[in-house]
Chain A
Amino acid sequence: MIPVQTASRIPLDDYAAVIGAAELAELRALAKPLLGRSVEMINSTAVGGGVAEILNRLVPLAEELGLPIRWEVMTGGEDFFEVTKSFHNALHGAPYHPQERDFAIFRDYTERNLHRFPLDAEFVVVHDPQPAGLIGARPKAHNHWAWRCHIDLSHPHRAVWEFLETYVSQYDAAIFSSPEFARQLPVPQYLFYPAIDPLSEKNRDLPPEFIADVLARFQVDPLRPILTQISRFDRLKDPLGVIRAYRIVKRYFDCQLVLAGGSASDDPEGAQVLKEVRHEAVGDEDIKVLELPAWAPLEVNALQRASTIVIQKSLREGFGLTVSEALWKKKPVVASAVGGIPTQVIHRHTGLLAHSVEGTAYQIRFLMSHPEIAARLGEHGHEHVKENFLITQNLKRYLTLFLTLREAK
């Protein structure tokens, strides 16, 4: 395994402007009984992906609270990551025919990593299936181990889950992003939401001139309503359904649609979906299909902030943090009631949920006809994110978990 140096350091005190001094004082009060107690976070990649993004923020903040915390990345060869990628897809419900060799590769790399580090921190948090087998290093129950699962396990491939379960059931706790993803396990299962960082480039306040510049660059008219969906060009995000909903809305309101997502160059299916979306948009200059670079946080931030309504019309979703990003920016959101979205969009309170193209269009029309309701939903959405989906809340949940695990022994 390789120790990771976190890339970005934002002092904890900077968050007082966002969450308030009292909430920071509370974090410090919770951390006090844990001062000097060591923590180890283990995952399989230091860059890219939501887990690395969260750990990059979480680790330095925990350090500031006086917890000696290390972040290690499991090492493996191509064969290992091919197997774990297949496991990942299978755990999401994709068809898969595992061979005994696949399990042997998983065990082999687990064994090799076991001998590289002591894994003796008082609290060890293992993220996702790849390093789950490291629980084998647990020295006679002297420390506390938690498995944090960031993926949707609601319909897992049976053989793969049964293999993984032998490891997971040895932990002291398992953590999921939604009750729907939890399994029948002999250990306590907790609910942790993914989190956004309000001070990151993707979420921090932006000067109006920058937003205007981004709109000009993408030829979006700032004077007419803008409907936006930010997502990969993926069938499960239903971009064609978004266009159909927009066309219904367009009969009543002179609006524009922005579909913006990361580059599809390394994803053959994404490239095909992008092609279909572009084809569908032909002839309508008010539909902007934007293929953004893989890392374009400021552009995403600006497009969300410029939007009149943000849409997330997914057919299936893990958690869908783009919804929290939009809510944090006080945007009214119309989204599908799938995966973790209803946790973020409480229907009629922090946004509106829909179950079809027609429903999505109707909710958008309703909000465009009632801007005062749209504004109120946006305000409530911001408060909801502040209370539940910020990185500081994530840190608070970990502190509470560590206190709970310590009490349980």
Chain B
Amino acid sequence: MITVATPFEFFTAAHLTRIGNLSAITLTELLAGLEQCSDASIFHHTFQTLGSHHFLTEGFSNDFAQWVLADANRDALAERLAALDIRDYSSIAALRADLCRLVHDFCQEHPEFAQQSALERFYFCESVEVTIPFGLSAANLDEFREGLFRLSHASFFFHFISSRLRLHLRTNDFSHWLADGLGLMTLADTVNRIDVYTNTLDSARAKLLRLVDRERRKHDPGSNGEPHSAR
């Protein structure tokens, strides 16, 4: 079993929603809001909303898409916005640019819909993040598995999804440590490909645990793959 000098520290992140001053009742106003709002607002309505709606695996991607679908009643634009995959972004600026482009292009194609009032107003909010050590760390794959097993949803989300922005890489904390810390490049890559849109956080974690167990069996054929706490 490989043990590393720099252990993986598990954190948890709690979020407060801060209400902003921008809102939109038409697609034109939505575009203006997307251009002007803070990075914390784009994060809130895309990354953070995926975390708080993690149990939905069909059709829900981000707040913008949901508002365009349910309130502005523009299914085609909603589908395009929903198709944006936050895993493709390592910066909020790039994500904002694509959101703006999609809304702008739709308004250009359909000027008749651009000024139409939606049923309800869209309010731009922001996420205020507080990170706290979870009190768990891992220096090898066994301890990593044990930590994963005991994580809250918010902690798992923090390391697996929102970490992409922190790292400015198209990867996550877990894959980053598996590759850089333990040298397990293939495992790191497979973990990074777990689909967070078609999985709930629970099922994504279950997949990750299965992958880790498979790796542990390679190194220790006697391992049954069960976490210590479940034995």
Contact = CB atoms under 8 A, between A and B. Distances in A.
A6 to B, nearest CB: 24
Interface stretch (A22-30, A94-102, A216-224, A282-290): A22-30
A176 B19 CA distance: 9
B122 to A, nearest CB: 9
Interface string B214-231: 000000000000000000
B21 A184 contact: yes
Given A22-B152, A190-B19, A346-B66, A29 B56 contact: no
Q: How large is the interface on B (under 10, 10 to 19, 20 to 34, 35 or more residues)?
A: 35 or more
A123 to B, nearest CB: 14
- If over half of A's interface residues share one DSSP class (helix, strand or loop), that class is named, otherwise mixed; here it is helix
Contacts, number: 102
Which of A184, A399, A400 has the largest count of B CB atoms less than 10 A from its CB? Answer: A400
A32 B11 CA distance: 13
A347 interface: yes
Nearest to B54: A387
Instruction: Output the residue of B19, B53, B125, B155 with the most chain A CB within 10 A.
Output: B19
Nearest to B56: A349
Contact of A342 (B56, B120, B132, B150): B120
A355 B119 CA distance: 9
Contact of A397 (B16, B69, B121, B125): B16
B125 A179 contact: yes
B132 A32 contact: yes
B192 interface: no
B175 interface: no
B104 to A, nearest CB: 24
A404 B13 CA distance: 12
B52 interface: yes
A182 B19 contact: yes
A190 B17 contact: yes
Contacts of A21: 150
Contact of B130 (A190, A383, A400): A400
A59 B59 CA distance: 38
Contacts of B19: 176, 179, 182, 189-191
B53 A384 contact: yes
29 contacts: A21-B150, A22-B150, A25-B152, A26-B154, A29-B12, A30-B14, A33-B132, A180-B123, A182-B19, A190-B19, A190-B128, A191-B16, A191-B17, A337-B120, A346-B53, A346-B70, A347-B69, A347-B70, A353-B70, A384-B53, A384-B55, A387-B54, A387-B153, A396-B14, A397-B16, A400-B14, A400-B15, A400-B130, A404-B16
Interface of A: 20-23, 25-26, 29-30, 32-33, 176, 179-180, 182, 184, 188-191, 337, 342, 346-349, 353, 355, 380, 383-384, 387-388, 396-397, 399-401, 403-404, 407
